[in-house]
Amino acid sequence: MNICILGAGYVGLVSGVCFADFGHSVTCIDLDKSKIEDLNKGIIPIFEPGLKELLDKNIKDNRLSFSTNLDNVIDKVDAIFIAVGTPSRRGDGHADIEYVINAAKEIAHKARKYILVVIKSTVPVGTNRLIQKIIFEENSELEFDMASNPEFLREGAAINDFMNPDRVVVGVESKKAEEILTEIYKPLLINEFPILVTDFESAEIIKYASNAFLATKITFINEIAALSEAAGANITDISNGMGLDARIGDKFLNAGPGYGGSCFPKDTLALAKIGSDLGSPMKIVETVIKVNSEIKLRMMSKLKILCDSSFKNKKISILGVTFKPETDDMRDAPALTIIPALLSQGAEVNIYCPQGQKEGAALLGDVKWFNDPYSAVKDTHLMVILTEWNEFYSLDLKKLASSMQTPKFADLRNIYNKQFALQCGFEKYDGVGQ
Ligand code: NAD
């Protein structure tokens, strides 16, 4: 199949590379000229494990190319995927589908033969029908079908998620659209990964409902963590005890500083807005949004207690600023709330993050960046683990504690236990829900 992807970001690039690896001929288009120039030189604009190798292989095999120009490819394309951003609209939290609309108009103006238009971006219910109408209005001669194909990959594990999905969701209205998408995803069908075919609206809601459910699970365990602290219990044991119940499952039950990232914050806000617009309020999701923002304040008060009630002139070292490990993505990371709050209250902040500096430097203001955790932590009054990068599981705590002005440790991902940290020389340790 000949495939085109509009938007070579986290989702578009991974999808394009993986479709090429399925054997299709893929062109990824992006408006960002420098991104496309880099990609044509084999330079990847994001950090995603395994992506570079797969990209190189498929470029070499002539199945993958990059361009800023849709005109050169659209005539030979069977399906075009829209994978552009759908950020929160300023002020009301609604998903901004302006980029999707612009992409659709461009397709309408340039396509001259039948094409399947697939929306991979996360879009509010009703968007596929709206885009169908817009394309028809812009070019009533064009023969085309629409399909909704929301993406569920996780940054940091994106290739594996795309190649081994729990499910592929396809929202269609025509047999032809279903057949083309089935052909595109054939390697997954052969390997018996489930492909769920549904209508547009259900496919659109499945994506938001899934993300909101996961955000709820995280927020629920974070609230239980607060209860656990108040009651003198241990959240790690509680999570284990809950997670062993097969009906609950052990995923997304790790207490921490609240969810962040490129999807959960904006998608929960958008779902709440969609519910209120349709007269069906999403009361649980609305509460989750509120509780999640309060969790960050709770983290701040933990840090403040460890700093003897004042951040003024305190040196604080932060380990990990990306919203999760194995990505360079800083969008809505808890670090973006916590670090500016520390700075505004007079703290000096040192940071070490395996991949966060490129994005974070512009976002985090007056902080000092280091190339390893030991230099970042040296001479500070408090060490904070904010993101659970693998390398933080085997830190030399003795070395770190002995290098600090006051050896205090806020372990906001519960990587270590209190007793061990104290044995290693920390005079104070606090985790989440411990
Ligand atoms: P992103 O911001 O990383 O990438 C979007 C890209 O689209 C940018 O490079 C931008 O330049 C490009 N673009 C915008 N308009 C364009 C146009 N008209 N033509 C060509 N390129 C255009 O976004 P992302 O994180 O990949 O997310 C894309 C969508 O996928 C969003 O709706 C998001 O909610 C959804 N999603 C994201 C993830 C994730 O983990 N990032 C996971 C699942 C779903």
Q: Is the pLDDT reported for residue 365 higher than 90? A: no
Closest CA to 384 of 355, 359, 433, 350: 350
| Antiparallel, parallel or unpaired: β 144-148 and 115-119 | parallel
Query: pTM of the prediction?
Result: 0.96
Closest CA to 58 of 25, 15, 104, 10: 25
Q: Which of 5, 13, 82, 262 to mutate to test the pocket of ligand 1 (most atoms within 8 A of CB)?
A: 262
Q: Tokens 């991902």 identify what position? A: 413
pLDDT for position 92: 86
Determine whether the shortest distance from the Cβ of 262 to ligand 1 is under 6 A. Answer: yes
Query: What is the total residue count of the chain?
Result: 434
Give one DSSP letter per residue of 149-165, joined into a string: ------TTSHHHHHHS-
DSSP state of 416: S
Residue 202: φ, ψ to 5°: -65, -40
Instruction: Mark out the alpha helices in 79-199 (DSSP H runs).
Output: 98-110, 127-138, 158-163, 175-184, 186-190
The pLDDT tens digits of the residues spanning 64-92 come to 999 999 998 999 999 999 999 999 988 88
Q: Which two tokens stand for residue 8?
A: 């070579």
CATH T-level fold of 208-290: N-(1-d-carboxylethyl)-l-norvaline Dehydrogenase; domain 2 (1.10.1040)
Which positions are annotated as active-site residues?
Answer: 263
Enumerate residues 6+ apart whose C-beta is below 8 A from 232.
none
Q: What is the arithmetic mean of pLDDT over 121-132?
A: 98
pLDDT for position 165: 98
The pLDDT tens digits of the residues spanning 389-425 come to 999 999 999 999 999 999 999 999 999 999 999 999 9
Determine whether the shortest distance from the Cβ of 311 to ligand 1 is under 6 A. Answer: no
| Ligand 1 centre distance from Cα of residue 27 (Å) | 15
Enumerate residues 6+ apart whose C-beta is below 8 A from 60.
none
| Antiparallel, parallel or unpaired: β 64-67 and 79-82 | unpaired
Q: Which two tokens stand for residue 371?
A: 């190339």
Q: Atom 3 of ligand 1 has which residue's CA nearest to it? A: 9
The pLDDT tens digits of the residues spanning 273-296 come to 999 999 999 999 999 999 999 999
Determine whether the shortest distance from the Cβ of 153 to ligand 1 is under 6 A. Answer: yes
DSSP state of 95: B
Q: Which of 5, 11, 259 to mutate to test the pocket of ligand 1 (most atoms within 8 A of CB)?
A: 11
| Ligand 1 centre distance from Cα of residue 158 (Å) | 14
pLDDT for position 286: 98
Determine whether the shortest distance from the Cβ of 332 to ligand 1 is under 6 A. Answer: no
Check if 2-198 and 296-430 are the same fold: yes
Report residue 4's pLDDT band, with 50, 70 and 90 as the boundaries: very high
**Residue type for 31, please?**
L
Q: Which two tokens stand for residue 7?
A: 């938007």
**Residue type for 169, please?**
V
The pLDDT tens digits of the residues spanning 308-320 come to 999 999 999 999 9
- Judging by beta carbons within 10 Å of its beta carbon (0-12, 13-18, 19+), is residue 222 exposed, middle or buried? buried
Output the CA–CA distances (angstroms, integers) from residue 95 to 154, 250, 268, 292, 293, in the order listed: 19, 30, 10, 19, 19
Assigned CATH class of 2-198: alpha beta
d(CA 146, CA 152): 19
- Judging by beta carbons within 10 Å of its beta carbon (0-12, 13-18, 19+), is residue 155 exposed, middle or buried? buried
Domain boundaries, the chain: 2-198, 208-290, 296-430
Most distant CA pair in the chain, distance: 74
Q: Is the pLDDT reported for residue 364 higher than 90? A: yes
Q: What is the arithmetic mean of pLDDT over 337-357?
A: 97
The pLDDT tens digits of the residues spanning 26-64 come to 999 999 999 999 999 999 999 999 999 999 999 999 999
pLDDT for position 90: 80
Q: Does domain 296-430 have CATH number 3.40.50.720?
A: yes
More confident residue, 96 or 92: 96
Determine whether the shortest distance from the Cβ of 86 to ligand 1 is under 6 A. Answer: yes
The pLDDT tens digits of the residues spanning 148-164 come to 999 999 999 999 999 99
Give CA angle at 172 (167, 173), nearest 5°. 155
d(CA 103, CA 7): 9
d(CA 34, CA 396): 41
Determine whether the shortest distance from the Cβ of 149 to ligand 1 is under 6 A. Answer: no
Q: Which two tokens stand for residue 325?
A: 């490990």
DSSP state of 5: E
Average pLDDT, the chain: 97
